[in-house]
Amino acid sequence: MLEEFKNAFNRPNNAHVQLIMINVVIYLFLVIAFVLTTVAKSEAIFGYIHDVFAIPPLAVDFIKRPWTLITYAFAHDWTGILHILFNMLALYWFGKLFIEYLGNDKLIAVYVLGALAGGVLYLLIFNSIPYFHERSDFPGMVGASAAVYAVMVATATLLPDYTFFLLFFGPVRIKYIVLVYIVISFIGSVGYNAGGNIAHLGGALIGFIYTRQLQVGVNWGGWITAVLDGIKSLFSPKPKVKVTYRSTTKEAPKKSRSASTASQAEIDAILDKISDKGYESLTKEEKEKLFNASKKQ
């Protein structure tokens, strides 16, 4: 099972599945922790574990646990199996479509941006509006919904007329599916799950802005990709140092290959880059190499 899990996680063009796996693993961890601490009559220990992930509503508590601005978006309450189920289904459907057009890196970026935007709006509302401040007597918020809303809205902004076939409803354009979700969250912003619904709206807003900015050539999530690439490089094997020397004898000049041509290995690398990051991530030289290779087919 572990080998199957690793293979599924490491497949290319698979960021939506990777995010789902992370969410499910953390959910199972919290479930196991809840059961064990309950049996041991050590509920306080579970409360501490839950607080490591949950983002509190009040700033005075948040400044003691600032990492929860991101961890809350990878955890779900142990009793909320339907919560994580619907979140992960939406992430799979919309995330898979998003990756087809914009690649892995941008999906992860919009997910993280959605989590951050949802958490920031949640904190702002509960610490600045008396109505919500008076209702802040709960331990904190968990759930991937804000991040998933960002993915959904980003996808619907990119492909508003793309159609999903829904049980009992038939073909429905995704812009209408997303609109229904947003309206429900807006209504729920004064309900029992006000904090969660406010975070949904923050995620939805950043999802829209993110895609609109991409369409004019601005990538708001570039810093997230750079940070993750830097972390990956720390764990990547370092290439062996090659020692070279320059000959003192003159050699006949060799005919160099044009920078616009490429070997099959280079073309494969370019195609892998498109799969991971989208066509727009290619440099001018890479696009030229790909174009010239296509003419030879």
- Please state the rounded mean pLDDT for residues 237-252: 54
CA pair distance 32, 106, nearest whole angstrom: 33
Which residues face 63 on adjacent strands? none
DSSP output for 140-169 = -B--SHHHHHHHHHHHHHHSTT-EEEETTT
Count CA atoms within 13 Å of residue 78 on its CB side: 15
The mean pLDDT value of the chain amounts to 87
* Residue 181 scores a pLDDT above 60: yes
Using 50, 70 and 90 to split pLDDT, how confident is the model at 262? low
CA distance readout (Å), 46 to 29, 54, 63, 141: 11, 12, 21, 15
The pLDDT of residue 73 is 97
* Range in 26-40, 94-108, 116-130, 275-289 with the lowest mean pLDDT: 275-289
Structure tokens at 271: 């195609």
Residues forming the active site: 145, 200
- Which has the higher per-residue pLDDT, 245 or 39? 39
Give the pLDDT band of residue 279 (cuts 50, 70, 90). Answer: low
Q: Are 51 and 30 in contact (CB under 8 A)?
A: no
**Of the spans 98-102, 136-140, 203-207, which averages the highest pLDDT?**
203-207
**Pick the residue with more confidence: 296 or 243?**
296
- Which stretch of DSSP H or E encloses residue 170? strand 170-173
Closest of 296, 239, 291 to residue 270, by C-alpha: 291
Q: Which two tokens stand for residue 179?
A: 């609109």
Query: Is-contact 74 55, C-beta < 8 A?
Result: no
Q: Where are the domains of the chain?
A: 2-225, 259-297
Answer yes or no: are the C-beta atoms of 30 and 75 closer than 8 Å. yes
Please give the model's pTM, rounded to 2 decimal places.
0.79
Q: In whole angstroms, what is the distance from residue 158 CA to residue 152 CA?
A: 10
Q: What's the confidence (pLDDT) of residue 48? A: 93
Write down the number of H helices and E strands in the chain. Answer: 13, 2
CA distance 207 to 201: 10
- Please give the average per-residue pLDDT across 17-33, as a whole number: 95
Neighbours of 156 (CB within 10 A): 27
Residue 171 phi, psi (nearest 5): -70, 130
- Helix, strand, or coil (residue 57): coil
- Residue 114: pLDDT above 80? yes
pLDDT of residue 253: 47
Distant-in-sequence, close-in-space partners of 173: CB < 8 Å, separation ≥ 6 = 160, 161, 162, 163
- In the predicted structure, residue 251 carries a pLDDT above the cut 60: no
**% helix, strand, coil for the chain, step of 5:** 70, 5, 30
Closest CA to 143 of 78, 96, 98, 205: 78
Nearest CA-CA partner of 113 in 214, 184, 30, 10:
214
Query: Taking the domain 2-225, which CATH number applies?
Result: 1.20.1540.10
40-54, 145-159, 225-239: segment of lowest average pLDDT: 225-239
55: three-class secondary structure by DSSP: strand
Q: Which of 235, 212, 215, 196 is nearest to 278 (CA)?
A: 215
Give burial (CB, 10 Å; 0-12/13-18/19+) of 252: exposed
Q: How far is CA 124 from CA 62, 119, 121, 205, in A?
A: 12, 9, 5, 15
